[in-house]
Amino acid sequence: MSYYNTGTVTAFAGASGLLQTILGQILGTEVTGENLSGTGAAWSGTLANSPVGLGRLIINYAFSSTNYEGVDDGSGNITGTNISSGSITYSTGAYSITFTGTPDATPTADYIYGNEGQDWRQELNRNTRDNQGAGYTEVCSPCKEVVISNTGLSGQEAVIVGIRECYYVSANFYVWDLNGYTTFNDSGEWDQNSAWHNMDAYSATYNSFTEHPHLPLVDDTMSYWVYSNQQRIVVVVKVSSNYEIMYLGFGRRFGNPGDYPFPLLIGGTTTSTYLYSETSYYHLWPLGSYRQNNSLNVWIIDPGTGICAWEGSFGQNNGPIILPYDAWSNQGALAPTENGERLMTPVYYTPYDDTGSVVWFDLDGVYHIAGTGIQSEDHVNYAGDRYRIFQNCHRTTYYDYCAVLEGAAVSTTTSTTTTSTTTTTT
């Protein structure tokens, strides 16, 4: 089960701000240089900390004064030069490695540990900097720009996402810039991938990459809900009476990783310089996208033109088609059944300009739910699981709600639900 938590913060930035609070909950703990146990060719024992993150273990050893690294494959196997067999039990940290001979010195282990969803690695965390020429001056000393990564549900993938705090006080503009990557260079800039997506316009007034998807916030009290697993992070923030929703990471692809290496979605609720108080279609959850000039509140890597092409850079007048939300608005109000059941469906993402029947992926643990009488923060149960209900920003019409998987079913639920479609992914 993925990680879930809820809480309240009273500041936008800083050590007690929203970003650092959430990072403190989802980042794993890194260990370097822990000695292994054994002699000769056989080494076995239990790491000092567990559970070990999938694909997060590195074994350091040397033969004939040459250094090597062994790695786990996300399925419990450890492989590398001069390793004849190796295994790791992620839940306990128990390991066993047989080398082809005796290493020069005691092998050591580097790894990340933490429960599922609390095993993200921090690739970058520094004071926010602008993107204007050489020098890079700080624009917000308490603000941070971060890049974090995980290995996906298989433990063999690269899920890399970025969040950047920025504000412009006189306009009450407090937002997170959102970003996603296929690779990230340790020495690179937060927006180093701008050549991939061509969406790198920087506003020196608003201190923001205004063409990126945004999550609009305030420098005041905010309630939040965070949902994290090894392939995506969902954050919902209550700003005034609005519910701002962010989805960063992989969806559940249709096909195997070879067919679609990066089913990556970067989704917020605004773009450009719009605030949380915006009441037009410029302010919309990631379950429905809107384009403003060259900006888009949803970015998707398109498998058809290479893994570094973003849906937001294609130049269409519309973003991707998102079902079923885009099809509900004219269908008439949906009442619950006599048993209190409601319609809950997966959220599918399809290309806007495709002439065939193509579906890229659906959201992981986030569903569209429709019906009269729904309220934000309600719980519903389905098939032994509990879901939390959130509205589409400021909207409260019958089709403007989503349900986020939160945990095991509880007896205090307000209603039950049924889904019209199930999804099997690999």
Same domain, 99 and 7: no
75-to-54, 95, 156 alpha-carbon distances in Å: 7, 13, 9
* Mean pLDDT of all residues in 18-35: 98
Same domain, 131 and 146: yes
Q: What is the pLDDT of residues 120-129, one digit of tens each?
A: 999 999 888 8
Same domain, 107 and 94: yes
pLDDT tops 50 at residue 315: no
Q: What secondary structure letter does DSSP report for 311?
A: G
What is the predicted pLDDT for the residue at 192?
85
HSE-CB at 147 with a 13 A cutoff on CA atoms is 20
* Chain Cα centroid distance, residue 85: 34
What is the predicted pLDDT for the residue at 306?
52
The reply to whether 425 falls in a domain is no
* Mean pLDDT of all residues in 314-342: 65
pLDDT tops 60 at residue 156: yes
The reply to whether 223 falls in a domain is yes
Q: Give the percent of the chain with pLDDT over 90.
A: 61
Count of structural domains within the chain: 2
Torsion of CA 318, 321, 325, 327, to 10 degrees: 90
Which of 83, 113, 143 corresponds to the end of one domain? 113
Q: What is the pLDDT of residues 245-263, one digit of tens each?
A: 999 999 998 877 877 888 9
Angstrom distance (rounded) from CA 255 to CA 360: 9
Which of 78, 113, 148 corresponds to the end of one domain? 113
> Which has the higher per-residue pLDDT, 413 or 371?
371
Per the prediction, the chain carries an average pLDDT of: 86
CB atoms within 10 A of CB 289: 26
Q: Which residue in the block uniquely carries the two structure tokens 């959201």? A: 363
* Mean pLDDT of all residues in 367-388: 91
The reply to whether 424 falls in a domain is no
pLDDT tops 80 at residue 410: no
Q: What is the pLDDT of residues 189-216, one digit of tens each?
A: 898 888 777 777 888 889 899 889 999 9
Which of 97, 113, 129 corresponds to the end of one domain? 113
* Chain Cα centroid distance, residue 310: 17
Q: What is the pLDDT of residues 130-155, one digit of tens each?
A: 765 545 566 677 899 999 999 999 99
What is the predicted pLDDT for the residue at 142?
83
What is the predicted pLDDT for the residue at 100?
97
Range with the poorest average pLDDT among 39-43, 331-335, 351-355: 351-355
Radius of gyration of the chain (CA): 23
Residues 105, 108, 114, CA angle at the centre, nearest 5°? 175
* Under 8 Å between Cβ of 284 and 243: no
Same domain, 95 and 225: no
Spatial neighbors of 29 by CB under 8 A, at least 6 apart, are 49, 112, 113, 114
pLDDT tops 70 at residue 391: yes
* Under 8 Å between Cβ of 116 and 3: yes
What is the predicted pLDDT for the residue at 196?
77
Angstrom distance (rounded) from CA 145 to CA 153: 25
pLDDT tops 60 at residue 92: yes
The reply to whether 77 falls in a domain is yes
Spatial neighbors of 290 by CB under 8 A, at least 6 apart, are 271, 281, 282, 284, 296, 297, 319
Closest alpha carbon to 368 in 339, 407, 394, 397: 397
Angstrom distance (rounded) from CA 426 to CA 244: 30
Range with the poorest average pLDDT among 43-47, 76-80, 251-255, 404-408: 251-255
The reply to whether 40 falls in a domain is yes
Angstrom distance (rounded) from CA 114 to CA 123: 17
Label residue 423 by pLDDT band (50, 70, 90).
Answer: very low
* Under 8 Å between Cβ of 376 and 411: no
Label residue 82 exposed, middle or buried (CB < 10 Å: 0-12, 13-18, 19+): middle
What is the predicted pLDDT for the residue at 319?
59
Per the structure block, which two tokens stand in for 263? 């089913």
HSE-CB at 188 with a 13 A cutoff on CA atoms is 15
**Pairing mode, if any, of strands 415-416 and 379-382?**
parallel
CB atoms within 10 A of CB 204: 11
Same domain, 207 and 328: yes
| Model pTM score | 0.91
pLDDT tops 90 at residue 288: no
The reply to whether 426 falls in a domain is no
Its domain, for residue 39, covers 29-113
